[in-house]
Amino acid sequence: MKIEEQFKEIDNIINSLEMNEGTLDESFELYKKGMDLIKECNNEIEKVEKQIIVLTESE
């Protein structure tokens, strides 16, 4: 999944949680899924940042 798609999914999860619908278990599962997506996004961003550093240092 592309990072843009992950951001959209995180936004959808936030909206669902803010609507406060569903059970506590469902909300917790959404929360866990959102946190996993955030971790994946952070990892991808860090990877790109490292690539940028390598590129700028080699110039």
- Residues whose CB falls within 8 Å of the CB of residue 42, separated by 6 or more in sequence, listed in order: none
For the chain, the domain total comes to 1
Host domain of residue 16: 3-57
pLDDT of residue 47: 97
Distance from C-alpha of 29 to C-alpha of 43, rounded to nearest angstrom: 21
Structure confidence at residue 58 (pLDDT) = 80
pTM here is 0.84
Phi then psi for 28, rounded to 5 degrees? -65, -40
pLDDT, one tens digit per residue, over 14-52 is: 999 999 988 999 999 999 999 999 999 999 999 999 999
